[in-house]
Amino acid sequence: MEVAIFWLLAVIIIASAAATVFSKNIIYSAFSLLFSFLGVAGIYAMLSADFLAVTQIMVYVGGILTLILFGVMLTNRITMMSLKTDVFNFIPGLTIAAVMLAGLLYVIWVTGTWASDSPAAWDTTVETIGTLTITRFLLPFEVVAILLLIAVVGASFIARKDKQKIQS
Amino acid sequence: MESLTLNHFLTLSAVLFSLGVFGVMTRRNAVVVLMGIELMLNSANINLIAFSRYNGNMDGQMLAIFVIVLAAAEAAVALAIILNLYSNYNTVNLDEVDQLKE
């Protein structure tokens, strides 16, 4: 049962990621990215990371994907039907991706020596994550909070319209 | 039927990472390149969480949370840059954007 669910999720993730990368239409790319993110959230849930599965759905699907769709709409003249983007460097890109995949699979299946028997699953991870956040990972947590603030302020500063351009 | 091992998850994430690399290398549109980067970050997260699960150790999940936060910040800044590119060049084709200054 578990194996069947894993393969189902894997097929969903890989197929929609391939659609994202290969599709000529950028809107199709954005929407197949949605299914890829949802499948990854399912994989997190299978790995007994329930908090992260919910975070994945909220941040990626609710935040980043919406942001990307805004980017698509604001940077394409929809009336001119210029939504198609072409693929270039097809052969070198495919070669490098295939070589990288072969190298990763070689390391994973041939030279990997990590234990692969799974310990007992956690009941829920929320309590442990909360405790770790305010004890062992307190400093990274604060740093990342400040970084997020800086990124948001910086992004809105970069993206705003130039005052002179508006007046002219 | 065989049971799930760590290698299943690692293989899935390797395939996802290669697709992301392919997207980053071959697409002209900056937004699609950003999508490829998001795919690569997702595959790294699958790795972190799988190792965390099979080692019985929570640190990988904490790192994955930080990766998600950084991905959100990166997407916001990258889209701001892309909007700026569009207003300056009227295109988001990466091979037409070849000047640092107007």
Say if B54 falls within a structural domain: yes
In a domain, A168, yes or no: no
Question: Among A14, A108, A127, which would you mutate to test the B interface (most chain B Cβ atoms within 10 Å of its Cβ)?
Answer: A108
Q: What does the pLDDT look like over A94-108, one tens digit per residue?
A: 899 999 999 999 988
Asked whether residue A148 is domain-assigned, the answer is yes
- Rounded Cα gap, residues A91 and A80, in angstroms: 30
Q: Is residue A110 in a domain?
A: no
CA-nearest residue of chain A to B12? A10
- B13 domain residue, yes or no: yes
Tell me what the mean pLDDT of segment B44-71 comes to: 91
Instruction: Please indicate whether, in this complex, the C-beta atoms of B12 and A14 are within 8 angstroms of each other.
Output: yes
CB atoms B62 and A132 under 8 Å: yes
> Is B88 an 8 Å CB contact of chain A?
no
The domain containing residue A136 runs over which residues? 125-161
Number of domains in chain A: 2
Does residue A15 fall inside a structural domain?
Answer: yes
How many CA atoms within 13 Å lie on the side-chain side of B87? 14
Residue A25 has pLDDT above 80, yes or no: yes
B55 belongs to a structural domain: yes
Q: What is the pLDDT of residues A106-149, one digit of tens each?
A: 988 888 777 666 677 777 888 889 999 999 999 999 999 999 99
Query: Which CATH number belongs to the domain containing residue B50 in this structure?
Result: 1.10.287.3510
Last residue of a domain, one of A38, A65, A88: A88
> What CATH number should be reported for the domain holding residue A69?
1.20.120.1200
Q: Residue A9 and residue B46: Cα distance in Å, rounded?
A: 13
| Residue B99 belongs to some domain of the structure | no
Nearest to B76 among A52, A129, A152 (CB): A152
Note whether B19 contacts A: Cβ–Cβ < 8 A: yes
Chain B interface test: which of A118, A138, A139, A152 (most B C-beta within 10 Å): A118
Question: Best mutation site among A7, A11, A31, A68 for testing chain B: the one with the most B CBs within 10 Å?
Answer: A68
Distance (Å) from the C-alpha of residue A167 to the closest C-alpha of chain B? 15
Q: Is the ipTM of this complex over 0.95?
A: no
Residue A119 falls within a domain, yes or no? no
- Domain assignment present for residue B102? The answer is no
**Domain annotation covers residue A100:** no
In a domain, B97, yes or no: no
Chain A positions touching B1 (Cβ under 8 A) are 3-4
Looking up tokens 């007994």 gives A48
Which ranges in chain A belong to alpha helices (H)? 2-22, 26-46, 50-56, 65-74, 90-106, 126-134, 138-159, 163-167
For the residues of B25-71, what is the DSSP string, one character each?
A: HHB-BHHHHHHHHHHHHHHHHHHHHHHHHHHT-SHHHHHHHHHHHHH
Q: Do A129 and B46 touch (CB under 8 A)?
A: no
The answer to whether residue B98 is domain-embedded is no
What total of structural domains would you count in chain B?
A: 1
Please indicate if any CB of chain B lies within 8 Å of the CB of A36.
yes
**What is the share, in percent, of chain A residues with pLDDT greater than 70?**
87
| Interchain pair B79, A18: CB under 8 A | no
In a domain, A93, yes or no: no
Q: What's the rounded mean pLDDT across residues B26-46? A: 91
Between B29 and A10, name the one with better pLDDT: A10
Is the domain of A82 the same as that of A31?
yes
Residue A113 counted as domain residue = no
Residue B47's domain spans which residues?
A: 6-91
